[in-house]
Homo-oligomer: A and B are copies of this chain.
Amino acid sequence: MKQDSLYVSTLAKGLKILRAFDETHVSLSLKELQKRTGLEKSSVQRLAHTLHVEGMLDRAPDTRRYRPSHAWLELAYNYYWSDPLVARALPKLIEFSQAKGETINLAQISQDHIIYSLRLPNQRTHFAASIVGRRVPALITAAGRVILSTTGDDEIKNACAHWPVESFTPKTLTDRDTIFENTCDARDNGFCLTRDQILLNEISLAVPLTGNDGRARAALQISLSSRTYTPEQVVDKFLPALLDTAAGILG
């Protein structure tokens, strides 16, 4: 950062302002931006002003608080055009969603997290699981494990030892040995099933979208309620269709 002569720190500070907004900080005053970014008061003022002028931040005239603008959705739109997998996967996901009436997602690996890039939610899906762009530590998700399982044995071992884990529910599995075993099972089975990891009473089933080199960079994942199905029923009832959908995307 410091000794990088090509690094433009002013731009980085501007991005820091954008990233100050999250689930629990949906609008921010100048003071709050200052606190959350650690930048100088004047800098925050000028950077936020610039982002506002450039249409990246909206501002409520009464409260003077800044908010994310519609431009944030436009960026997503342009991301979608840039990702060839999205274009191939989307029609197949829609097909699956309408045929089965169940939530289906496209998850992509992004360093040691997975990011949901397409989501076709059904009525029972809660908000955070309905909207694209959510990042979750790869190791605690079925999608992350099944993607990981397609890489080399050393990489699996290394990832299970070092990638971050985080508890979302009391039942979130944070024991790295168990995660490793489960990932190896995924490698052998070609799918991964988890329970209660992100949300209680949620069963998650994922299959890899394997590239030409045999390594997956993405996965298809469905969410079901454990009140409705047992894990075995989920596998029986949905795995074949999920594999078909994956094959359709890759074919």
Contact = CB atoms under 8 A, between A and B. Distances in A.
A142 B90 CA distance: 25
A6 B73 contact: no
Given A79-B73, A110-B70, A123-B98, A90 B130 contact: yes
A217 to B, nearest CB: 11
A75 B68 contact: yes
B72 A94 contact: no
Contacts of A51: 11, 15
Contact of A47 (B11, B68, B132): B11
A86 B70 CA distance: 12
* Total identical chains: 2
A127 B75 contact: no
A8 to B, nearest CB: 4
B8 A46 contact: yes
A11 B18 CA distance: 12
Contact of A27 (B4, B82, B122, B134): B82
Interface residues of A, number: 65
A80 interface: yes
A75 B78 contact: no
A8 B14 contact: yes
Contact of A46 (B7, B70, B73): B7
Interface of A: 1, 4, 6-8, 10-15, 18, 21-23, 26-27, 45-47, 49-51, 53-54, 56, 67-70, 72-83, 86-87, 90-91, 94-95, 98, 101, 108, 110, 115, 117, 121-123, 125, 127, 130-135
17 contacts: A4-B53, A6-B46, A6-B50, A8-B14, A10-B10, A11-B54, A14-B15, A18-B75, A21-B82, A23-B81, A73-B115, A76-B132, A80-B131, A90-B130, A91-B123, A94-B130, A98-B101
